Amino acid sequence: MTAEVLVLVTSAGLFAIGAAGLLVHRHPVAMLMAIEVMLNAANLLIVLAARVRGGVDAESAALIVLVLAAADAVIGLGLALALFRRKAAPDVDEVAELRG
Amino acid sequence: MQSQFVPVLVGCAVALLSALGVVLARRPIYAAMALLVHSLSLAALFGILSAAMVAVGQVIIYSGAIVVLFLFVVTLLPTGGRELAPNTNRVGAACVAGGGMLVALAAALASGALPPTAAVFDLGVAAVGHSLFGPLVVAFELTAPLLLVAIVGAVVIWRRHEPRSTTTPRVLEATPRRLVMHR
């Protein structure tokens, strides 16, 4: 097993762990952390591809993904705080409608 | 890259274990700490994969900004963010989804072989800069309005549920508006 294959397998495992964590949690902040793990798994795969192919564009795309992760954390945490304002222990399943 | 097998193995093990910690921690503050370890181990892996710029960005943006943001929110939560216990349906769905995802990804990975690693490559900071301001300049510039919209959106979501301000007198709301002529 080469180091590249090891990183590949790790990336797949991280994505699966994040997906499982997203479903098992009812806490909005914990769900967001699971989403961050999934984003990191995808980013690891992008960086590995940049290394294997020797292409620098993919590495720049990985940097842009980092910024995207920051933006989604900001919006998600804002929503989580709004949920916690209504209830001390909110259940994300109860929030089922959007209102403008 | 064979000489780097042991560091890659250690980095992958730490990343996987800390990801498990993020998912399995019962209190959000422990999950945030595990997320910090996770992002640092990924930064180490990026460094080993000769992506120094992404490694530095991971440490600054992820460990420095996002994890700190998570910690701020967890400390702001009432009762430290108590969570309802997961029922068996959820655990079952998570096991099925996680296992299915792993099997699907493993099948996809096993079906195609990795190409041989490029011998000549330039992934330095200058090359990344040329790429960011060359072919990817539109995506790079669009990250600025994206962050601005995210900040404004977070403020709007927060202010919508804010209780009515106590500094403005309530009487003014009850009386109908009068037209006042100024000279």
φ, ψ of residue A88 to 5 degrees: the values are: -75, -35
Average pLDDT (B61-74) is 90
Contact between chains at A4 and B57 (C-beta distance less than 8 A): no
Residue B19 confidence (pLDDT) above 90: yes
Residue B174 confidence (pLDDT) above 70: no
Residue B169 confidence (pLDDT) above 70: no
Which chain B residues touch A27 with a CB distance below 8 Å? Answer: 28, 81, 83-84
C-alpha B44/C-alpha B23 separation (Å) is 21
Q: Is B148 exposed, middle or buried (0-12, 13-18, 19+ CB in 10 A)?
A: exposed
Average pLDDT (B15-19) is 93
Assess contact for A25 and A93: CB atoms under 8 A.
no
Sequence spans of domains, chain A:
3-88
- Confidence (pLDDT) at B81: 61
Q: Return the structure tokens found at B8.
A: 């890659």
What number does CATH give the domain A3-88? 1.10.287.3510
Which chain A residues touch B121 with a CB distance below 8 Å? Answer: 51, 54-56
Residues of chain A under the 50 pLDDT cut: none
- Confidence (pLDDT) at B85: 72
- Confidence (pLDDT) at B165: 60
> CA of B165, closest CA in chain A: separation in Å?
16
SS3 assignment for A4-38: HHHHHHHHHHHHHHHHHHHHHCCCHHHHHHHHHHH
CB atoms within 10 A of CB B35: 28
- Confidence (pLDDT) at B67: 92
Nearest CA in chain B to A8: B109
- Confidence (pLDDT) at B2: 65
pLDDT tens for each residue of B100-149: 888 888 888 778 777 777 666 777 788 888 888 988 899 999 999 999 99
Average pLDDT (B51-61) is 90
Which chain A residues touch B51 with a CB distance below 8 Å? Answer: 47, 50-51, 59, 62
Residue B82 confidence (pLDDT) above 70: no
> CA of B167, closest CA in chain A: separation in Å?
21
Of B66, B121, B153, the CB nearest to A54: B121
* CA-based nearest residue to A67, from B149, B47, B113: B149
Of A24, A48, A52, the CB nearest to B90: A24
Enter the pTM of the model: 0.84
Nearest CA in chain B to A21: B23
Residue B152 confidence (pLDDT) above 90: yes
